[in-house]
Structure 1
Amino acid sequence: MCRWLAYSGSPMLLDAVLYRPEHSLINQSLHARMGVESTNGDGFGIGWYSADGDGTPAVFRDIAPAWNNRNLRELAAHVRSTLFFAHVRASTGSAVQQTNCHPFRHGRWLWMHNGAIAEFPRLQRDLCMAVDPALFPSIEGSTDSEVMFYLAVTFGLDQDVPGAVARMAGFVERLGKEHGVPEPLQMTVAVSDGERVWAFRYSSRGESRSLFYSSRAETVRHLELDYLSEVSDATRIVVSEPLGGLPGVWNEVPEASYVVVPPGQEPDYMPFVPELPPLS
């Protein structure tokens, strides 16, 4: 599987979050504690939004391990952003190639995933056939994660993010059962339009991969790094596993739920229930 991180809040050098914490994402690429694999060396990717950009995120991805990539370290020390994604990959069977590294981008959207569609090769053709034909040429790689993304775009990501992800999950589960795969979906997913981040935790089996949320800005301040002391109250991080800091400051996202960052009037955690997309 994989490890990932989504940051939203005060302008921050990527380096401050990716490298400097005690159990940073770069450390997790070699020494993950809660993943299926302890080493996540099958490539990496970062995606970030620029305040003076056109709303389309920049993406840098490579097949090299994150822990020794000089270009990643160089970029992270100079790129500052209010919203960025980072992902270290452990392949579940698809090729180690740049187009299979997360995050994936389409227009203003970023998407990254930890988990798998069980027996994906058996389901792949029918899953791809459900993608909007106008979107299909945008699929560059061979992962289940990218197909999930374009299914969500097909099912209305632009209009209703939680609904589109729920319809994607419902479609995968229905198709899986039709092919004799009773528990087809395992996912923690992050998706962003450059203004907000939605993070989902769900699996058909009800035993999803780990996901944690800093429900208060104090969590970021408790990373015990002086240069993070001035973050705004709206600053949040969602991670596959905690970055370190004081015990108890990271909150596990409940099973079958999702969070929205920055927080608004909604509760911290909202239930996530797959639903069937309308028949075409």
Structure 2
Amino acid sequence: MCRWLAYSGSPIPLDSLLYKPKHSLIDQSQHAEMGAETTNGDGFGIGWYPVDPVEKATPGRFRGILPAWSDRNLRDLAEHIRSPLFFAHVRASSGTAVQESNCHPFQHERWLWMHNGSVRDFARMRRDLLLAVDPALYPDIQGTTDSEALLYLALTYGLRDDPVTAVERTVGFVEATAASHGIQDPVQMTVATTEGERIWVFRYSSAHQSRTLFYSRDVNDLRQLHPEVEALRQIPDGARLVVSEPLGVMPDAFVEVPESSYSLIYQGQDKMSDFNPR
């Protein structure tokens, strides 16, 4: 499917995570070890919030249909953009077209959304799912993916007010719609969404065999465990990172997100709980 990462903490250059680690996201675009495919070359995207945010400022975004490893503009931007909160995604299409409007992260106002996984037999359910989108939101849909449909269903169900309930209702609606079509185990997802201050991440599948997802341990704990690692002194206190698969650094730096759960990341803290579709 896809590989993605979400970062929250003191401002850092994007290339410090996209390119510099041994098994960086760009390396994963060619050599994924835990995904459904080894190569994720059907486009890419980054979304970031400014260091000095203007009230209600929307995030910057850059997406392209080239493989991430060969896009020189991405490398140049990643070297020069610093951000306290950013998303990055490399895509492996599950059947929809390779076009810019189908590349993650998707955006609505201040919100960003990215997804790894699929809605099984989406083409059979697409009409029913999209007819449930709020008519006021429907004109904003630009692409043809199941991922963007999930975003607009979540917005319809109240993402801006209560993200967890909105995503639970979205998944519950997709599963109910799938049942009416005789489709089993329709949802496979790891999802990240943010409004620029907090990050919500979800790991769930109808078959309870979800794609991999990991979060970084507290950097202070890692410094105590590995006082010999100079690089840990460069990581800002309170930094949090969520990834589809670890970045090839210390084996104990990342912890797996539990099956059927969600996490809220805010100001260097995280809260984890069960995820239950409604």
- After TM superposition, the score normalised by the length of structure 2 is 0.94
Aligned to 2:133: 131
- Residue 96 (structure 1) shift: 0.3
1:41 matches 2:45: no
Q: 5 Å matches for 1:46-195?
A: 46-54=46-54, 55-195=57-197
Alpha-carbon distance in structure 2 between the residues aligned to 1:115 and 1:14? 24
Alpha-carbon distance in structure 1 between the residues aligned to 2:125 and 2:132? 11
Alpha-carbon distance in structure 1 between the residues aligned to 2:44 and 2:195? 21
Alpha-carbon distance in structure 2 between the residues aligned to 1:33 and 1:227? 24
- Residue 233 (structure 1) shift: 2.8
Alpha-carbon distance in structure 2 between the residues aligned to 1:116 and 1:60? 23
Alpha-carbon distance in structure 2 between the residues aligned to 1:26 and 1:217? 23
Q: 5 Å matches for 1:225-264?
A: 229-262=233-266
What amino acid sits opposite 2:249 in the alignment? Answer: G
Aligned to 2:277: 274
Alpha-carbon distance in structure 1 between the residues aligned to 2:128 and 2:33? 35
Query: Secondary structure in 1 aligned to 2:45?
Result: strand
Alpha-carbon distance in structure 2 between the residues aligned to 1:108 and 1:247? 35
What amino acid sits opposite 2:28 in the alignment? Answer: Q
Alpha-carbon distance in structure 1 between the residues aligned to 2:66 and 2:241? 25
Contact 1:148–1:168 (CA under 8 A) maintained in structure 2: yes
Contact 1:9–1:231 (CA under 8 A) maintained in structure 2: no
Contact 1:235–1:262 (CA under 8 A) maintained in structure 2: no
Alpha-carbon distance in structure 1 between the residues aligned to 2:143 and 2:110? 19
Aligned to 2:23: 23
Contact 1:220–1:236 (CA under 8 A) maintained in structure 2: no
Alpha-carbon distance in structure 2 between the residues aligned to 1:128 and 1:161? 19
- After TM superposition, the score normalised by the length of structure 1 is 0.93
- Residue 238 (structure 1) shift: 0.2
Identify if the C-alpha distance between structure 1 residues 121 and 196 changes in structure 2 by more than 3 Å, giving closer, same or farther.
same
Query: Which 10-residue stretch deviates more, 236-245 or 257-266?
Result: 257-266
Q: CA RMSD in A?
A: 1.8
Alpha-carbon distance in structure 1 between the residues aligned to 2:20 and 2:43? 20
Deviations 1:208-245, CA, capped at 9 Å, x for gaps = 000000131258877x9856624333210000000011
Query: Which 10-residue stretch deviates more, 110-119 or 174-183?
Result: 174-183
Deviations 1:88-130, CA, capped at 9 Å, x for gaps = 0000000000000000000000000000000000000000000
Alpha-carbon distance in structure 2 between the residues aligned to 1:266 and 1:246? 21
Query: Secondary structure in 1 aligned to 2:242?
Result: strand
Query: Which 10-residue stretch deviates more, 111-120 or 243-252?
Result: 243-252
Query: Secondary structure in 2 aligned to 1:146?
Result: helix
Query: Which 10-residue stretch deviates more, 154-163 or 255-264?
Result: 255-264
What amino acid sits opposite 1:254 in the alignment? Answer: P
Percent identical among aligned pairs is 59
Deviations 1:25-55, CA, capped at 9 Å, x for gaps = 0000000000000000000000000133442
Contact 2:2–2:35 (CA under 8 A) maintained in structure 1: yes
Contact 1:234–1:262 (CA under 8 A) maintained in structure 2: no
Q: Which runs of 5+ in 2 are unaligned?
A: none
- Residue 264 (structure 1) shift: 7.5
Contact 2:58–2:110 (CA under 8 A) maintained in structure 1: yes
What amino acid sits opposite 1:201 in the alignment? Answer: R
Aligned to 1:278: none
- Residue 246 (structure 1) shift: 1.1
What amino acid sits opposite 1:272 in the alignment? Answer: F
Query: Secondary structure in 2 aligned to 1:99?
Result: helix
